[in-house]
Structure 1
Amino acid sequence: MIYLDYQATTPVAPEVVAAMRPWIEEKFANPHSPSRWGAEAAAAVEHARDQILTEIALDEGRFVFTSGATEALNWAIKGTIERSERRKIVTIATEHAAVLDSCEWLEGRGFQVVRLGVSADGLVDLGEAAEAIDAKTALVAAMLVNNEIGTVQPVAALAELAHAVGAVMLCDAVQGYGRVDLPPADLIAISGHKVHGPKGVGGLWIRKGHEPAALMHGGGQEAGLRSGTLSPALCVGLGTAARIANERRARDTAHVERLFEVALATLGEGWVLNGGIEARYRGNINIRREGLDAARLVGELRNLAFSLGSACASGSGRPSHVLRALGLTDRQARSSIRLGFGRMTGEAELVSACRTIAQTADAQASFAA
């Protein structure tokens, strides 16, 4: 099996597995217990928190552990709106379902939601954003690196627009954390399993003074903002993954950029890149070919792991909302595939996979002719 689905989840780093194991096997105490074992577990959680904050590298904020980015984004959006007297949210049409569905839920309760469109390269127009972000806006929500096409949005510029009118800036940094510089947002959501850490853990970085109202009650274990017993193993895993991402960032970036060029060259002619090539995280290639049955291609190549788009929307039968936002037709969206790779992807295996994909697509085209 050649794994090319890094946007869905990344392989867990061996160092992360080793760091987590003691906290699963023998150091299993509740970190909120006053016992000596509990205190030791609590210290491990706080060390992990410090490792995560080092990678975030923003001042005047705290990091709160959650079950993942979906919880963090729901909390950031709904909790911010609950504490605000304003009733308007500005977001982007290509956001993750955790953002778009939360906004739709609030819209059904009378709040105004503006969904900014994007150009063919996947980027929001800052002029349109400036018009939409006004004194009525409570929250601006934008994804740093798009999970389907890899576009890097100008979140720092959006944050400037939001702050100019007193709005809160939320950044979904799930695909960008550990890979690109984080913007000066007020709320930043991350997830462990997108940075070679474990599933089931993530969190929300919160700038001082921008704490969302709590959505989960029952103990207030996380600074009174989020209730629930923390897993030291998961927290340690995320902390270790953050430390490694910080140490390896330059090497990982160079590796991914090399793989990006190799993949495009190997696939050859007849393929069109979805989204722009410049403002893009290069570990994500979303590409289409005229007439390709992408779902059939995935089914034919069982020894390759790649996808049609977001894992969270797989099986819906609907064309990708991200690709439609770029202006693609349903047919073009259904002829698109996403290849995701990174730290643990070898160049030779990527070349082999891309050759197989191209040859299988050629065979499809010959049968259709």
Structure 2
Amino acid sequence: MADDSARRADLRDKVARLAELAARRGVDTIVLRDPAALTWLLGCRVNVPQTLDAACLDVVVHLTDGPRLRIVTNAIEAPRLRDTELAWLDGDGVDAPGTSWSVVPWWEARDAALPTTSGASVGTDRPLDGARDLSADLRALRRTLTPHQAVQLRDVAADTAAAASEAALGLEPTTSEYAAAGLLASALLRRGLDPVVLLVGGVDRLDAHRHPLPTAAALGRRGMLVACGRRHGLVASVTRIVSFAPLTTAEQDGYRRLLAVEQAFLDATRPGARLGDVVATGTAAYSAHDFDPHEWHRHHQGGPTGWQPREFPADPGSDVVLDAGQVVAWNPSGGGWKVEDTTLVTPSGCEPLVHDPTWPTLAVAGRLRPDVLVR
């Protein structure tokens, strides 16, 4: 299929990047064990359960005599991976590296099937006896999406936004936070998205709890839905607020001032910008728009994303330099309001991705930003 061919071609591109890294670091074999690195390489689900903590496979990338991949997994996961997640690897051998499998019994650790330093110079992203630590190099490598991944992320972001819209339209003031989370999870799953983060807050918790895990309490007059949807390993973050009564003038003003804070983050997000300087610009905007100058101390403001909800929360000391093809998600909050988007860094600036044309919007500095849905 055409899509499978595109995935194999994209894999070849990523393996070429790994080969360049291997040459710089003087290794001929790279072992990927970290879930974010595995999803970056393979574009599939690598976790059972669907968490971000441990993967059900490792990938050995042999870079001598032509690149070859070896999938190392156990006897439980191998049939499923071959039939579903990695079925697209079985191409004609022309547009993808050769692939082999090492399958161990479920009661044995996979480490014994991984290479050692005897006969090879090995680098890895998680501890492995005798291997060089390439974790920082691999994090930097995957931070910039391939063109194929950028297309995939746009689809993931649009579908995550549509799922949030669908869920919001099913809410009532009497809906419990748990039930709202169920509607959001259902809308994500129907679109083929894993709900890796689900937060819901009713009106009484919107300012006090910036990470409101759902409870049995009813939403009341206003509610907030927060989700991270994941597909092909790529993650999109979205926050949406629904009100069951018209906003007062003061409430409208508070939300618009927060969008002005977000604008400062987005305006500063461009190739060549130091991540910490973007944060400093954004956080300075709180006081400029009549928020407490320390409002940003109460919640992280976002950071690099793509393969995890956040690679790390960015702060003014973050020295990562942004480049085109990287992904960030900013989420300023204050006064009972929060706004969030997944944003692709482009050569001309940045492109917010989490947009649903059915959701009400406001124009802020030439960008369409989500408004509060009043029902």
TM range (shorter): under 0.3
Normalised TM-score (structure 1): 0.26
Considering only CA atoms, is the larger Rg found in Structure 1 or Structure 2? 2
Higher relative contact order (CA 8 A, sep 6+): 1
Normalised TM-score (structure 2): 0.26
Query: Could you say which structure has the higher helix fraction?
Result: 1
